[in-house]
């Protein structure tokens, strides 16, 4: 088995360190290459993996290839490089690049997989959605699932669902970060230090989400457990409802889906 990473930045690093730690692949089986070579050299040194001398060499020597550069770099793949992935499993984490555009760059790959990870993947707490171009063999499914397992949880979806998945789990971390910041800003105006308010909000978020996951209760049931009639939480939630919180989120998700659809359409 040989697995090659084209792009050796944040996400590739998270995957490489994760799969080596879990023993999914050995360091001798993994190689990488980057644009300037800087990140690939650093990752090769840190993880003890092979540094390829060119993208073509990596493509010729790998039977699984992970595309982990920026989405626009897909257009720099030459015909020779694309054809060098003959018989390989091609896995892409590029935002907004759909299966047909990946297939067109790598026409001879044995199968193509599109993955939408999210930023908590950097600490192994991410969630990824993935779709295969063609029904996978058991071995290929195993490769994809064990690789994504290094980043956190993973779920298979249909390609058309990738837009809404992008809105929910791809953009989701930014929504949570922004929410924490708004809470901390508001708390500061009531005399709590911003750093302490941020910590309280972070720990509240971690605890609440873990409770929701472990209890298996519906979000609405957990809301009811916190709210007492005319109490403090009731006052807070009523204020949010009167500002049409739900409608605001619906609109945000709608805009994100639209933008994702727009970005995945070929230019011109």
Ligand X SMILES: NC(=O)c1ccc[n+]([C@@H]2O[C@H](COP(=O)([O-])OP(=O)(O)OC[C@H]3O[C@@H](n4cnc5c(N)ncnc54)[C@H](OP(=O)(O)O)[C@@H]3O)[C@@H](O)[C@H]2O)c1
**Contact residues: ligand X, CB under 6 A:** 6-12, 34-40, 68-71, 73, 76, 93-95, 117-119, 121-122, 170
- Closest approach, Cβ 176 to ligand X, in A, equals 14
Find where tokens 């790598």 sit.
106
Q: Which is nearer to ligand X, 41 or 103 (CB)?
A: 41
CA distance 154 to 149: 7
- Closest approach, Cβ 109 to ligand X, in A, equals 17
- Closest approach, Cβ 11 to ligand X, in A, equals 3
Q: Which is nearer to ligand X, 68 or 112 (CB)?
A: 68
Q: Which residue is nearest to ligand X (CB)?
A: 9
- Closest approach, Cβ 113 to ligand X, in A, equals 14
Give the Å distances, CA to CA, from 251 to 168, 222, 240: 13, 24, 16
CA distance 67 to 12: 9
Q: Which is nearer to ligand X, 43 or 184 (CB)?
A: 43
Both tokens of residue 51? 């540094």
CA distance 205 to 198: 10
Q: Which is nearer to ligand X, 44 or 184 (CB)?
A: 44
Q: Which is nearer to ligand X, 116 or 143 (CB)?
A: 116
- Closest approach, Cβ 132 to ligand X, in A, equals 18
Q: Which is nearer to ligand X, 165 or 197 (CB)?
A: 165
Q: Which is nearer to ligand X, 122 or 141 (CB)?
A: 122
- Closest approach, Cβ 263 to ligand X, in A, equals 11
- Closest approach, Cβ 37 to ligand X, in A, equals 6
Residues 6+ apart with CB under 8 A from 70: 7, 94
């Amino acid at each position: 088995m040989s697995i090659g990473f084209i792009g050796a930045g944040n996400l590739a690093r998270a995957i490489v360190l994760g799969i080596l730690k879990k023993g999914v692949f050995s360091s001798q089986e993994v190689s990488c290459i980057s644009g300037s070579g800087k990140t690939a050299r650093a990752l090769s040194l840190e993880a003890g993996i092979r540094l390829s001398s060119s993208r073509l060499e990596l493509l010729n020597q790998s039977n699984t290839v992970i595309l982990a550069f920026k989405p626009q770099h897909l257009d720099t793949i030459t015909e020779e490089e694309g054809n060098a992935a003959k018989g390989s499993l091609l896995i892409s984490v590029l935002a907004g690049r759909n299966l047909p555009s990946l297939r067109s760059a790598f026409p001879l790959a044995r199968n193509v997989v599109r993955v939408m990870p999210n930023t908590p993947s950097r600490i192994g707490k991410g969630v990824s959605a993935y779709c295969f171009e063609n029904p996978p063999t058991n071995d290929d499914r195993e490769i994809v699932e064990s690789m994504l397992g290094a980043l956190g949880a993973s779920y298979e979806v249909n390609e058309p669902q990738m837009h809404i998945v992008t809105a929910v789990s791809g953009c989701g971390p930014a929504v949570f970060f922004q929410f924490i910041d708004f809470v901390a800003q508001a708390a500061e105006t009531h005399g709590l230090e911003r750093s302490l308010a941020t910590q309280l909000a972070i720990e509240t978020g971690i605890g609440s989400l873990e409770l929701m996951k472990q209890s298996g209760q519906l979000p609405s049931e957990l809301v009811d457990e916190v709210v007492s009639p005319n109490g403090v939480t009731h006052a807070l939630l009523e204020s949010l409802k009167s500002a049409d919180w739900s409608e605001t989120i619906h609109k945000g998700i709608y805009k994100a889906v639209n933008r994702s659809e727009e970005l995945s359409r070929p230019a011109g």
